[in-house]
Amino acid sequence: MLTLRDYQNETLEALRQGFADGSRAQILYAPTGAGKTEMAIALLSAVLSKGNRAAMILDRVILCDQTSQRLQKYQINHGVLQAGHWRYRPSEHIQVCSAQTLERRGSFPGLNLMIVDECHAMRGQTIEFIKNNPSVRVVGLTATPFTKGLGRTYDNVISTVTTAQLVEKKVLVPLRVFIAKQIDMTGAKKVAGEWSQVEASTRGKVITGDIVQEWVSKTAEIFGGPRKTIVFCSGVNHGAHLASKFAEQGFNFIAISYRDDDDYKRQVIEEFSKPDTNIHGLIATDVLTKGFDVPDVMVGISARPFSKSLSSHIQQMGRVMRGYEGKEFALWLDHSGNYLRFQEDWDDIYQNGVSKLDDGREKPKQEPTEKEKKESQCPACHALWDPKSDICAHCGYVRPRKSLVVEVPGQMEELRSRQIGQLSKQDWWSMLYYNVVYKGWSRGRASHTFKEKFGHWPNGLQDKPVTPNKEVDGFIKHRLIKYLRSKR
Residue 396 lies in a domain: no
Most confident of 8-17, 53-62, 63-72, 281-290: 8-17
Domain end call among 109, 129, 161 = 161
- Percent of residues, the chain, with pLDDT higher than 70: 88
103 plus 209 within the same structural domain: no
- What pLDDT shows up at residue 424? 77
50 plus 91 within the same structural domain: yes
* pLDDT digit string, tens, across residues 10-19: 999 999 999 9
Residue 477 lies in a domain: yes
Mean pLDDT (the chain, rounded): 86
Res 179 pLDDT > 60:
yes
- What pLDDT shows up at residue 405? 34
- Decide: residue 398, CB within 10 A, 0-12 exposed, 13-18 middle, 19+ buried: middle
Residue 11 lies in a domain: yes
Res 106 pLDDT > 90:
no
* pLDDT confidence tier of residue 304, bands split at 50, 70 and 90: very high
Domain end call among 324, 340, 368 = 368
- Decide: residue 296, CB within 10 A, 0-12 exposed, 13-18 middle, 19+ buried: middle
Distance CA 232, CA 301 (A): 6
For residue 442, the enclosing domain spans: 425-487
| DSSP designation for 205 | G
Res 418 pLDDT > 60:
no
Residue 411 lies in a domain: no
Contact 457, 444 (CB under 8 A): no
- What pLDDT shows up at residue 417? 46
Q: Please tell me the pTM assigned to this model.
A: 0.77
* Segment 226-237 mean pLDDT: 94
181 plus 290 within the same structural domain: yes
259 plus 285 within the same structural domain: yes
210 plus 342 within the same structural domain: yes
273 plus 243 within the same structural domain: yes
Residue 207 lies in a domain: yes
Residue 62: what are its φ and ψ, rounded to 5°? Answer: -60, -30
- What pLDDT shows up at residue 83? 73
220 plus 306 within the same structural domain: yes
Domain end call among 334, 368, 402 = 368
119 plus 148 within the same structural domain: yes
Residue 420 lies in a domain: no
* pLDDT digit string, tens, across residues 122-158: 888 889 989 989 999 999 999 999 988 899 999 999 9
**CA-derived radius of gyration, the chain:** 25
Range scoring the smallest mean pLDDT among 247-256, 341-350, 474-483: 474-483
Residue 388 lies in a domain: no
Contacts of 154 (CB under 8 A, 6+ apart): 25, 26, 27, 119, 138, 140, 357
* E strands present in 59-93: 79-80
347 plus 283 within the same structural domain: yes
Residue 131 lies in a domain: yes
Q: Total structural domains in the chain?
A: 3
Res 343 pLDDT > 80:
yes
182 plus 240 within the same structural domain: yes
Buried b (16+ CB within 10 A) or exposed e, 336-364: bbbbbbbbebbeebbeebbeebeeebbee
Orientation of helix 262-273 relative to helix 61-73, angle to 10°: 50
Choice between 43 and 125, residue whose per-residue pLDDT is larger:
43
* pLDDT confidence tier of residue 399, bands split at 50, 70 and 90: low
Range scoring the smallest mean pLDDT among 67-76, 198-207, 313-322, 417-426: 417-426
Count Cα neighbours of 19 within 13 Å in the Cβ-side half-sphere: 16
Which helix or strand (DSSP H or E) is residue 27 part of?
Answer: strand 25-29
The CATH number given to whatever domain includes residue 67 is 3.40.50.300
* pLDDT confidence tier of residue 96, bands split at 50, 70 and 90: very high
Give the torsion sign (CA, 230, 236, 241, 243): positive
Res 178 pLDDT > 60:
yes
For every residue of 430-481, DSSP letters joined together read: HHHHHHHHHS---HHHHHHHHHHHHSS--TT---------HHHHHHHHHHHH
Count Cα neighbours of 400 within 13 Å in the Cβ-side half-sphere: 3
Q: CA dist 120 to 99, 123, 133, 150, 213, Å?
A: 13, 9, 19, 7, 36
Choice between 102 and 295, residue whose per-residue pLDDT is larger:
295
* pLDDT confidence tier of residue 475, bands split at 50, 70 and 90: confident
Choice between 375 and 68, residue whose per-residue pLDDT is larger:
68
149 plus 90 within the same structural domain: yes
Which helix or strand (DSSP H or E) is residue 152 part of?
Answer: helix 150-153
24 plus 143 within the same structural domain: yes
Res 223 pLDDT > 50:
yes
SS3 content of the chain, % helix, strand, coil (to 5): 40, 15, 45
Give the torsion sign (CA, 248, 253, 258, 261): positive
Buried b (16+ CB within 10 A) or exposed e, 42-69: bbbbebbeeeebbbbbbbbbbbbbbbbe
Res 228 pLDDT > 90:
yes
Buried b (16+ CB within 10 A) or exposed e, 237-246: bbbbbbbebb
